[in-house]
Amino acid sequence: MAALSGAHASGGGIAWDKFPEEKSTDVAALQSGAKTFVNYCLNCHNAAFMRYNRLRDIDLTEAQIKSNLMFATDKVGDTMKVSLDPKNAKDWLGAVPPDLTLIARSRSGSQGSGADYLYTFLRTFYRDQTKPTGWNNLAYPNAAMPHVLWQWQGQRAAKFVEEKDPHDESRTIHKFEGFETLTKGTMPQQEFDDSIANLVAYLNWMGEPAQGTRTRLGVWVLLFLSVFIVIAWRLNASFWKDIK
Amino acid sequence: MATFKEAPADASAAQKLMTWVDNRFPATQLYNEHLAEYYAPKNFNFWYFFGSLALLVLVIQIVTGIFLVMHYKPDAAVAFASVEYIMRDVPWGWLIRYMHSTGASAFFVVVYMHMFRGMIYGSYRKPRELVWLFGCAIFLCLMAEAFMGYLLPWGQMSYWGAQVIVNLFSAIPFIGPDLSLLIRGDYVVSDATLNRFFSFHVIAVPLVLLGLVVAHIIALHEVGSNNPDGVEIKAKKNAEGRPLDGIPFHPYYTVHDVLGVSVFLLIFSAIVFFAPELGGYFLEANNFIPADSMKTPLHIAPVWYFTPYYSVLRAITSEMMYVLMAIVVAGAALAVLKIRMSGLLKAVVLGAAAVVVLLMMSIDAKFWGVVGMGGAVVILFFLPWLDHSEVKSIRYRPDWHKYFYALFVINFFMLGYLGVQPVSPLGERLSQIGTVIYFGFFLLMPWWSRLGTFKIVPDRVTFAPH
């Protein structure tokens, strides 16, 4: 069986950067991420379990959703499916683009959360003429995905040095040394990183829209149970003082 | 037919109702026998919470399960989507789902603690062997239930984990391939498998589990509970025939268990509300990808509660078979030399050993891995007859016995940890050693449990009023 990975980049990749967690609760960031998502990602990728009207949870009104964020359908209760035929996708890109609804949850690993992975992945594309799309990626070597947001980031090449494999002296590995800018993008690096962070925050939210409710409710539940434990403990003690 | 009892004329409506019921169903009698007048030892400690917690988790799983089944679709094409539907579109569906997934893991934590209590206090010893046997059967059913439930979300790990484990059955000689076909309903894990696992997980196994739990409790109540000192409280009774060291289960242990339940729910809720995935151990990252028969994950591992047994399975390689053959031969030789038995029996033992070694040489290690994995669970059934210690409870055993039990626990954790890791040369060696320690602990118990200077078991339980 071909050992294609589900959750991990094939053949490893660089260490993951940390996704700025504070973006997860920033509604403006989530909305900006939603905008990037429907404009740039939903052409090839599906988000088949995400309904457009769920975007109300990030403070968008139905009118805003209908007029700005829906291109593939006109029913706000529909799911974010696109019409890219998987057969065509395989022909054009080499692989079927995975569904993105749960991408953040499915990519967590020992190196960090799924959001960390996505934040690293979306920012480490580089030009590689040996690949069919002309792009390669540091976090997911030999990814079939091209650098969709190249106009924002600009085009970069990656510099590698040959080094002895620390685990096996007889082998050499290519160690990433740095990027070299080939053409400039429309955004300076910080702005690009921020836009990607917004997009990843949105992807993270889309994976589990109930997150916010879950943690908010959890605080009350634990508070209640803590008080209840004290009551149960004293009630137990009051019965058991009879036992000699 | 028993004579009808009449309630006195001035009885309240409630009393009259209970009299009507009691004349037709032993309600008050059952209440008294199993709650208000079931005398349990007064010296229960922390380890005695887990029985009632296991019952609580069973109820949580059944109730959350009922609500999940209202929305879940057991069809390979839509199963994954139906789970996401529950998580997103069903009001509070996410909470029900997380309670069920956390409950599954919580069930095993609680049951392992419950079993450990039984091991250290000798709760499986005469006259409680049947309580233990029902318990082991519950454990087996629980493992089957969890295994089948895990296929239902139809994620990558669900599919491939099931594929790996069901394929193991095909290693059984003669009947293996047909057995695997029967389990799967197809030549590979597919929609047919999903449907029959759904049926077993939702109805067949829960019914059996409920029956076994009832039997487990009835068997316990018939002989009475053990306690941390291993003292039989029924030996010393007062004038009314009540054990001196016994207290009515209700209200003392009902209120005690409420405390246990509240602490459990605190930990349970902390996980459900703040870390339902628990770092990928309770909900694995790979399972958020729909099952794809064309893509094998890099790393297929069972859920954490199966990993000790998975380690045993992986430890039994062709290389290990030689070690095992040597152990069988050595074991037979020792038995014949050290144990008093008739000449005929000695011949039988040696003959059986020869047959076993022959089979070990001719059948693939994969089959023996399955035997080892199953054997690691089945050996628990024999514990009442393997333990030849003079005393029930670890409190009165020689001190070094405690170290043996500690070694067993550490070894079990090590096997569990190794089961989560990918295969490695060091890991393989360690799990092989761990397997030998695990089986050695049980198989040599008839011998080592008798050694050492035992302490005097008191007449009455040790209890400090509080």
Query: How does pLDDT run across A127-155, given as a tens digit for each residue?
Result: 999 998 999 999 999 999 999 999 999 99
CB contact under 8 A, A240 and B272: no
Residues on chain B touching A4 (C-beta within 8 angstroms): 295-296
Percent of chain B with pLDDT over 90: 90
Average pLDDT over residues B375-402: 96
Does the pLDDT at position B438 exceed 90?
yes
State the smallest CA–CA distance between residue B86 and chain A in angstroms. 11
Task: Give me the residue from A210, A228, A229 closest to B94, CB to CB.
Answer: A210
Supply the mean pLDDT for chain A.
Answer: 90
Whether chain B has a CB inside 8 Å of the CB on A49: the answer is yes
State the smallest CA–CA distance between residue B252 and chain A in angstroms. 7
Task: Give me the residue from A4, A214, A244 closest to B94, CB to CB.
Answer: A214
Average pLDDT over residues A229-243: 96
pLDDT at A9: 38
The nearest alpha carbon in chain A to B93 belongs to A210
Whether chain B has a CB inside 8 Å of the CB on A243: the answer is yes
Whether chain B has a CB inside 8 Å of the CB on A218: the answer is yes
H or E segment to which residue A20 belongs: none
The encoded tokens of residue B99 equal 């309670």
Q: Are A160 and A176 in contact (CB under 8 A)?
A: yes
Average pLDDT over residues A123-128: 95
Beta strands A135-137; A79-80: pairing state: unpaired
Q: What is the C-alpha separation between B2 and B241, in angstroms, rounded?
A: 25
pLDDT at A169: 76
Residues on chain B touching A116 (C-beta within 8 angstroms): none
State the smallest CA–CA distance between residue A196 and chain B in angstroms. 22
Does the pLDDT at position B60 exceed 60?
yes
pLDDT at B1: 55
Q: Are B127 and B88 in contact (CB under 8 A)?
A: no
Q: Which residue has the higher pLDDT, B272 or A87?
A: B272
Q: Are A139 and A146 in contact (CB under 8 A)?
A: no
Q: What is the ipTM of this complex?
A: 0.91
The encoded tokens of residue B32 equal 């008294």
Whether chain B has a CB inside 8 Å of the CB on A166: the answer is no
pLDDT at B369: 94
pLDDT at B301: 87
Residues on chain A touching B247 (C-beta within 8 angstroms): 243
pLDDT at B381: 98
pTM over 0.95: no
**Number of C-alpha atoms within 13 angstroms, CB side, residue B233?**
25
State the smallest CA–CA distance between residue A43 and chain B in angstroms. 20
Give chain B's contact residues with A (Cβ, < 8 Å).
42, 81, 84-85, 87-89, 94-95, 98, 156, 247, 251-252, 255-256, 258-259, 262-263, 265-266, 269-270, 272-274, 276-277, 280, 285-290, 292, 295-299, 463, 465-466
Q: What is the C-alpha separation between A209 and A213, in angstroms, rounded?
A: 8
* Closest among B323, B380, B393 to B117, alpha carbons compared: B393
Average pLDDT over residues B238-251: 94
- 3 state SS for B224-239: CCCCCCCCCHHHCECC
Residues 6 or more apart from B374 whose CB is under 8 A from it? none
Q: Are B285 and A8 in contact (CB under 8 A)?
A: no
Does the pLDDT at position A110 exceed 90?
no
Residues on chain A touching B286 (C-beta within 8 angstroms): 6-7, 106
State the smallest CA–CA distance between residue B263 and chain A in angstroms. 6
CB contact under 8 A, A229 and B255: no
Q: What is the C-alpha separation between B270 and B260, in angstroms, rounded?
A: 16
Task: Give me the residue from B81, B256, B299 closest to A236, CB to CB.
Answer: B256
The encoded tokens of residue B242 equal 């009540």
pLDDT at B338: 85
Supply the mean pLDDT for chain B.
Answer: 95
Candidates A102, A215, A223: best to mutate against B (most CBs of B within 10 A) is A102
Q: What is the C-alpha separation between B466 and B17, in angstroms, rounded?
A: 39
Residues on chain B touching A106 (C-beta within 8 angstroms): 285-289
Residue type, A244: K
pLDDT band for position A6 (cuts 50, 70, 90): very low
Residue type, B241: G
pLDDT at B298: 86
State the smallest CA–CA distance between residue A183 and chain B in angstroms. 36
Does the pLDDT at position A167 exceed 90?
no
For B265-316, what is each residue's pLDDT tens digit?
A: 999 999 999 999 999 999 999 999 999 999 999 888 899 999 999 999 999 9
Residue type, B322: Y
Does the pLDDT at position A234 exceed 70?
yes
CB contact under 8 A, A243 and B252: yes
- In Å, how far are A37, B209, B273 from A219, measured between CA atoms? 31, 34, 8
CB contact under 8 A, A218 and B272: yes
For B73-91, what is each residue's pLDDT tens digit?
A: 999 999 999 999 999 999 9
pLDDT at B2: 63
CB contact under 8 A, A243 and B156: no
pLDDT at A205: 97
Does the pLDDT at position A1 exceed 60?
no
Does the pLDDT at position B201 exceed 60?
yes
A 106-135 → B contacts, CB under 8 A:
106-109, 114
The encoded tokens of residue B67 equal 């609500």
